[in-house]
Amino acid sequence: MTASVMSPSNRILWDVSSLLMAVGDALSARFGAVTVRGELSGFVRAASGHCYFTLKDAEGAAATLRCAMFRRAASMLAFAPADGQRVELRGRLALYEPRGELQFVVEAMQRAGVGSLYEQFLRLRDQLQAAGLFDASRKRPITPHPRAVGIVTSLQAAALHDVLTAFARRAPHLPLVIYPSPVQGGDAPAALVRALGAAAARREVDTLLLVRGGGSLEDLWAFNDEALVRAVASSPIPVVCGVGHETDVTLCDLAADLRAPTPTAAAELACTDWAALWSELQAQADAMRQAVARRLQTQAQRLDLTALRLARPGRSVARQHQHLDTLAHALNAARARRIDQAAMALPRRADRLRHATQRQLHDAQQRLDNLGQRLQALDPHAVLSRGYAWVESVDGRPVTQAAQLTAGDAVQGVWADGRAALQVTAVSPTPAAPATPRRRAGSRGSA
């Protein structure tokens, strides 16, 4: 395929692929290995191991550069890239022909100095603080006398030697469990999180020490990893963090239940000095001996007094007789007072009983009179005396309705002064008559 042809107007006419190849060659010739600084954005690590991202201008200008970092170069990273980090990239410019896009093929990546790391530290610190991970209210006290202490650090770290020396000096009796993990490099944060998880799952210690010796900000950067900080904050076992020197501060220090200025100080804070415990024990033993001596002295004095009283029993018996006489006199006097008071109260109680009985009899007589009057008012013979009469059958049952009679029935009429035999000649029921109350004394007049 020809790269170009001459047009009738003597202009060079390129096809697309030839032009892009020529531009790529020009870029390679003009820009060899170059180094560029910027801020990571849209960082993605593909399943193949290649990394793709955009590099933004670090000063805020509206300029971006598409970047690709292939697996071999990505495997040599000493840290975990993330969006927002300022980095320095070394590589070459190339043209991605399928899309005609300019891209930067990255061969090496490093952080762009302490300043950008510190800015990232401040941003993440503010974010986690807003989430409440550093609140003093969620921090737990460290057990003063743990049954065992766990240490999360590297087996090759000098900090481990310092911690073990401090425990051997202060608490040689205390069991120690080491959860090994790298403390520097790109794999350190995930390994430290796994070590904390193993300690939480095994539940064999009462306190965890997360320690590392001093170093630069880059050396301590694993302890500013967000996943590790969250693991420290959520650990079910109280964590003492001693990372770096006294002037070094990491986000794990802020999230831990207790911050120690150095690994040695972390060991000292996690246990009580056995010499101090021994001195305290000796002081308590002395106090107990003194208390027992005082108690024995007091009891000996009481024993002497008791023995002295037993030596003259007649005097004690005389005192007891005198006390009994006093009690008997008081008892007799109290009994006489109670009898006199009861005798004085008896006439009053008799009067109250008599008056109460009279009131009850009077009330009962009134109720009886009222009931008699009501009973007399309901007597049917009293109704007959006012000129009424009732009708009853021959066998004495009352006839209260006309419907009970038929023509030819024999009935009796009852008046106040006697009765008469009657014959029913006809029955005439009253149609649609309004309901009237039943009379118990019969009807007025004759049948």
Q: What is the pTM of this model?
A: 0.44
Q: For residue 123, what are its two tokens? A: 């941003």
What's the fold here for domain 119-272?
Rossmann fold (3.40.50)
Task: List the chain domain ranges.
Answer: 14-111, 119-272
Q: What is d(CA 201, CA 260) in angstroms, rounded to the nearest whole number?
A: 25
Q: What is d(CA 269, CA 260) in angstroms, rounded to the nearest whole number?
A: 8
C-alpha separations of 237 from 27, 193, 244 in Å: 58, 14, 22
Q: For residue 146, what are its two tokens? A: 């743990």
User: CA torsion, points 135, 136, 142, 144, in degrees to nearest 10?
Assistant: 180
* Tens digit of each residue's pLDDT, the chain (447 residues): 445 555 555 677 777 777 777 777 777 767 778 889 888 888 999 999 999 999 988 776 778 889 999 999 998 887 888 877 888 899 888 877 777 788 889 999 988 765 566 778 888 999 999 999 999 999 999 998 999 999 999 999 889 999 999 999 999 999 999 999 999 888 999 999 999 999 999 999 999 999 998 877 778 889 999 999 999 999 999 999 999 888 788 999 999 999 999 999 999 999 888 888 888 888 899 999 999 999 999 998 888 888 877 766 677 777 888 889 899 989 999 988 888 888 888 888 888 888 999 999 999 999 998 998 888 777 777 777 777 888 888 887 888 888 788 888 888 888 878 888 888 888 888 876 555 555 554 444 444
User: CA torsion, points 143, 148, 149, 152, in degrees to nearest 10?
Assistant: -140
CA 42 to chain centre: 40
Give 121's Cβ-side CA count (13 Å radius): 20
Q: Residue 32: phi, psi to the nearest 5? A: -85, -125
Amino acid in the structure at residue 9: S
Predicted confidence at residue 435, as pLDDT, reads 58
Q: What is d(CA 7, CA 15) in angstroms, rounded to the nearest whole number?
A: 12
Q: For residue 11, what are its two tokens? A: 């202009």
Amino acid in the structure at residue 382: A
Predicted confidence at residue 418, as pLDDT, reads 85
Looking up tokens 């320690």 gives 211
What is the 3-class SS of the chain, one letter each residue?
A: CCCEEECCCCCEEECHHHHHHHHHHHHHHHCCEEEEEEEEEEEEECCCCCEEEEEECCCCCCCEEEEEECHHHHCCCCCCCCCCCEEEEEEEEEEECCCCEEEEEEEEEEECHHHHHHHHHHHHHHHHHHCCCCCHHHCCCCCCCCCCEEEEECCCCHHHHHHHHHHHHHCCCCCEEEEECCCCCCCHHHHHHHHHHHHHHHCCCCEEEEEECCCCCCCCHHHHCHHHHHHHHHCCCCEEEEECCCCCCCHHHHHCCEECCCHHHHHHHHCCCHHHHHHHHHHHHHHHHHHHHHHHHHHHHHHHHHHHHHHCHHHHHHHHHHHHHHHHHHHHHHHHHHHHHHHHHHHHHHHHHHHHHHHHHHHHHHHHHHHHHHHHHCCHHHHHCCCCCEEEECCCCECCCHHHCCCCCEEEEEECCEEEEEECCCCCCCCCCCCCCCCCCCCCCCC
Contacts 24+ apart (CB under 8 A), 381-384: 381/416, 383/441, 383/442, 384/414, 384/415, 384/416, 384/441, 384/442
Q: Are 175 and 148 in contact (CB under 8 A)?
A: yes
Predicted confidence at residue 361, as pLDDT, reads 92
Looking up tokens 């190849």 gives 21
Q: For residue 227, what are its two tokens? A: 């996943």
Q: Are 223 and 213 in contact (CB under 8 A)?
A: no
Pick the CATH number of 14-111 from 2.40.50.140, 3.30.360.10, 3.30.2350.10, 3.30.413.10: 2.40.50.140
Looking up tokens 């009279």 gives 358
